[in-house]
Amino acid sequence: MRILAIGDIVASDGREFVYNNLGRIRKKYNIDYCIANGENSANTNGITKDIAETLIECGVDVITMGNHTFANKEYSAVLEDMPRVIRPGNYPSETEGMPYYIEELGFAKIAVINMMGRVHMEPLDCPFRATEKILDKIDADIIVIDFHAETTSEKLAYANYFDGKANIIFGTHTHVQTADEHVLPKGTAYITDLGMTGVRDSILGVKKEIIMDMYYTRKHFRFEKAEGEVWFSGCVFDIDEKTGKVNGIERLNFNSID
């Protein structure tokens, strides 16, 4: 089966690119299942119910989140009412929402898990142990994990620890695509970061001047979305759902689609 994973969709520009083009992208790459990170989809941070519903209507099967899960006040409505929107599984157990979504597709049963790193991020529960607990209780033919984390070393440590236990592990959060897609020794398809779907001439999808000022002055400013050309970033994983063999990994990075 062919699984498309879309990197952090940022603000209205990223959303609209996905709304307008996902049908064609799914068709062109012969996609069976689509996962997108939506933590920045509402005006740079968080998600709303309307946005989540529209992304699902236009072809996203599961929306993963990250450190901005709770940035929009609609988070509890989204997480409680929409099982296709999942949040990192190492938040405290009382937190709204589910850390995984399982779907029977007829030809295969797929599970998508969301987890978050702890290096230069919030001090959440251990992502390794939280993932082990989930893997112990779920059953699926294909297991995909979005590991939302800052550093390449934590992402690589996590991916290698779960090599052979998940079919696909991809990273999100940095908004910069890495060129290291490969199959780990025990068979897991891996990429450190999918990148961002949003305005390219920006920093994180935010106006560059704001982020530069933030680093120069060390003051904090209100983020505003950047304006400009939108680039779509993601990855297509081709996995044999019977054997788990990875047939191919293709990075996507474009600003228009035929």
Query: Tokens for 168?
Result: 């696909």
Nearest to 204 by CA among 42, 14, 43, 10: 10
In the region spanning residues 93 to 132, those forming contacts with Fe ion, defined by CB under 5 A, are none
Question: In this chain, which of 40, 90, 95, 114 binds Fe ion, going by CB under 5 A?
Answer: 40
Nearest to 13 by CA among 221, 186, 177, 207: 207
Question: In this chain, which of 1, 7, 8, 22 binds Fe ion, going by CB under 5 A?
Answer: 8
Number of residues that bind Fe ion (CB under 5 A): 6
What x/- string results for residues 155 through 174 when contact with Fe ion is judged by CB under 5 A? ------------------x-
Say if residues 6 and 232 touch (Cβ distance below 8 Å): yes
Residue 106 CA to residue 183 CA, distance in Å, equals 26
Confirm whether 182 is a catalytic residue: no
In the region spanning residues 16 to 35, those forming contacts with Fe ion, defined by CB under 5 A, are none
Instruction: Identify the three-state secondary structure at position 210.
Output: helix
Stretch that binds Fe ion, among 1-9, 97-105, 129-137, 246-254 (CB under 5 A): 1-9
Question: In this chain, which of 67, 167, 188, 202 binds Fe ion, going by CB under 5 A?
Answer: 67
Contact status: 38 vs Fe ion (CB under 5 A): no
Q: Would you call 239 exposed, middle or buried from its count of C-beta atoms within 10 A (0-12, 13-18, 19+)?
A: buried
Contact status: 146 vs Fe ion (CB under 5 A): no
Q: How far is the CB of 24 from Fe ion (least distance, A)?
A: 24
Residue 168 CA to residue 186 CA, distance in Å, equals 12
Question: In this chain, which of 38, 66, 198, 234 binds Fe ion, going by CB under 5 A?
Answer: 66
CB atoms within 10 A of CB 86: 25
Q: Could you list the residues that contact Fe ion (CB under 5 A)?
A: 8, 39-40, 66-67, 173
User: Which residues carry out catalysis?
Assistant: 68
